[in-house]
Amino acid sequence: MKIAHGTVVAIEFKLTDDDGEEIDSSEESGPLEYLHGFGQIVDGLEAALEGHVLNDKFKVTVPPSEGYGEDSGQEPVRVPRAQLPTEPEPEVGMDLHAVGPDGEEETFWIIEVEEEHVYLSTDHPLAGLNLHFEVKVVGVRAATEEEMSHGHSHGPDGHHH
């Protein structure tokens, strides 16, 4: 079966930056499973996976425009820790959601943590980076009607929200 819209795909991957430094990998967590065509992974990787089949291995470089976007160049915002929820403990890379003045939800990422303050950015931590993926397709199957209606895969143990 070829990877196409509405297939549940499982991949093993290694993600590196332009210097070859590892950013992420499925080695410890196991394969990443997602519902193809529903925007659950970066656009460039999803497009590169289209048409591949079980056991295919390939490398792809995803530019910022098809990954996490360009670096906006905006300065981070310094926020007192007292203004954040007490749980979980703030960590670099963690995302926070807030409602902006126009009522739209905004996502911020913690880029620095100090004793009394944290620094937040609207840029994803990987914004502006070329993403170098090494991928192996380890599973492809048709999504169930329930998965399609929910917009995500349910995995081998069924539906858990």
What pLDDT is attached to residue 41? 96
pLDDT exceeds cutoff 80 at 159: no
Q: What is the mean pLDDT of the chain?
A: 92
First to last CA, the chain: 28
In this structure, which CATH number among 3.30.420, 2.40.10, 3.30.160, 2.130.10 belongs to the domain 77-121? 2.40.10
Architecture of domain 7-68+128-145: Roll (3.10)
pLDDT digits (tens, 9 = 90+) for 22-75: 999 999 999 999 999 999 999 999 999 999 999 999 999 999 999 999 999 999
Q: In this structure, what token pair is assigned to residue 110?
A: 């913690």
Task: Please state the domain extents for the chain.
Answer: 7-68+128-145, 77-121
3-class SS of residue 104: coil
- pLDDT band for position 155 (50/70/90)? low
- 18 Cβ contact list (under 8 Å, min separation 6): 129, 130, 132
- Partners of 98 in beta bridges: 106
